[in-house]
């Protein structure tokens, strides 16, 4: 019986959810008598994969603990030595914003309050150079009395960490910024985009990019919010539109977004205040691929000194414009590599990398680094295997 399970001093009272990486339970802390949420990890066959996932779990706990912000679900405890390892967090009553939006859009006042609270939570994270990277309605929880909390820092980038996520924990393409979707660029501007997309959906009941899967070669245009939510006050509609600007530098920071919403009226006023001056792209932690693999980051952060910023990328193309071939592996491709590594099939993992290179114009610094890391794991990979031999045919 589920209720008889325990994790140390935490007595399970029910199941909140389950996924490929583990489960989340409701529980009671028998010492303090409070309700908590216990997040567990499933076991893994391969020691390397298990270590990477444990490190990601520890990183998530540290990311949340470092914030200690009322707009972020808090972490209370962690035990990586338990079987299975578990993380104890604040129990938020819910529902998620995703569940709430299934019943229709929020009121103007609710959109404004939601935006202020989550933008301030993101601003606190960004001050510590923590990037959430998966801001979306499903990761925002109702905490009661009009309060909202940002949850699931499992894919976050944390400074001075050799690991940010595993192939299982990836961002959500429908809410990803164009630069994240196309180039795998992860930064604070991307978090603002995710929140802007969330507020857009909360205001009008739909997010246009949910109507079809995002394309790797085409960024679908998003109409101005006022066209879908004409009752939204102009100053609120415009700041949300700026948050989802294609150009990252044209978006407000999370702090600016919170301030703009706080200063806006919840009623139609007819005034249209000027927005903040477009900012250049700021600190950008190095990342690649929408599904950034932990194994890759272990090596890349080691060779780049961890916090070294990436060279700013070119501005995103206009909406609907063709996009050059990707220069970094997608979530799907990197997941395939990680699956092979977890099974100990290092040669097959290398072949997956070479297949991607053949389809995308040759090796990149990222794929070369990943190959070196896999080759260093054991004797199975062929270190001197000649490139170009035994090439697969297109369509294989």
User: Which are the catalytic amino acids?
Assistant: 134
**Unique residue bearing structure tokens 């910024």:** 177
Q: How many helices (H) and strands (E) are present in the chain, helices listed first? A: 12, 8
What tokens does 148 get?
A: 């909202």
Residue 256 phi/psi, 5-degree rounding, is: -65, -40
3-state secondary structure 260-290: HHHHCCCCCCCCCCCCCCCCCCCCCECCCCC
Which residues does residue 75 pair with via DSSP β-bridges, in sequence order? 89
Residue 285 phi/psi, 5-degree rounding, is: -65, 140
Q: How far apart are CA 222 and CA 125, in angstroms?
A: 27
- Contact between 71 and 113 under an 8 Å Cβ cutoff? The reply is no
For residue 10, the tally of other CB atoms under 10 A from its CB is 23
Q: How far apart are CA 37 and CA 28, in angstroms?
A: 8
> Residue 121, class by beta-carbon neighbours within 10 Å (0-12 exposed, 13-18 middle, 19+ buried)?
buried
């Amino acid at each position: 019986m589920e209720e008889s399970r325990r994790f140390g001093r935490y007595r399970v009272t029910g199941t909140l959810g389950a996924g490929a990486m583990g489960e989340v339970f409701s529980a009671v802390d028998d010492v303090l008598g409070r309700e908590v949420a216990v997040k567990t990890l499933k076991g893994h066959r391969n020691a390397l994969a298990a270590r990477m996932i444990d490190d990601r779990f520890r990183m998530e706990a540290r990311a949340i603990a470092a914030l200690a912000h009322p707009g972020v679900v808090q972490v209370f405890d962690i035990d990586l030595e338990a079987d299975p390892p578990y993380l104890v967090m604040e129990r938020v009553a819910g529902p998620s914003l995703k569940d709430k939006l299934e019943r229709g859009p929020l009121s103007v006042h609710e959109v404004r309050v939601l935006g202020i609270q989550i933008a301030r939570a993101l601003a606190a994270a960004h001050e510590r150079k923590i990037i959430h990277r998966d801001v979306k309605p499903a990761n925002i929880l109702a905490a009661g009395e009009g309060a909202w909390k940002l949850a699931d820092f499992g894919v976050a980038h944390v400074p001075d960490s050799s690991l940010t996520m595993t192939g299982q924990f990836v961002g959500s393409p429908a809410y990803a910024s164009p630069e994240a979707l196309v180039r795998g660029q992860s930064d604070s501007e991307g978090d603002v985009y995710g929140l802007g997309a969330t507020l857009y959906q909360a205001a009008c009941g739909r997010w246009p990019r949910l109507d079809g899967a995002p394309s790797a070669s085409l960024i679908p245009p998003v109409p101005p919010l006022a066209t879908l939510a004409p009752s939204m006050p102009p100053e609120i509609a415009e700041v949300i539109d700026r948050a989802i600007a294609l150009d990252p530098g044209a978006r407000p920071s999370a702090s600016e977004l919170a301030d703009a919403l706080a200063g806006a009226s919840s009623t139609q006023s007819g005034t249209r205040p000027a927005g903040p001056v477009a900012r250049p792209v700021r600190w950008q932690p190095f990342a690649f691929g929408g599904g950034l693999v932990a194994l890759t980051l272990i090596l890349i952060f080691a060779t780049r000194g961890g916090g070294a910023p990436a060279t700013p990328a070119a501005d995103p193309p206009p909406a609907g414009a063709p996009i050059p071939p990707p220069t970094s592996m997608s979530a799907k491709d990197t997941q395939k590599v990680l699956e092979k590594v977890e099974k100990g099939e290092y040669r097959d993992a290398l072949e997956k990398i070479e297949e991607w290179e053949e389809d995308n114009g040759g090796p990149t610094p990222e794929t070369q680094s990943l190959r070196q890391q896999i080759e260093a794991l054991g004797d199975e990979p062929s270190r001197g295997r000649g490139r170009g031999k035994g090439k697969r045919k297109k369509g294989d």
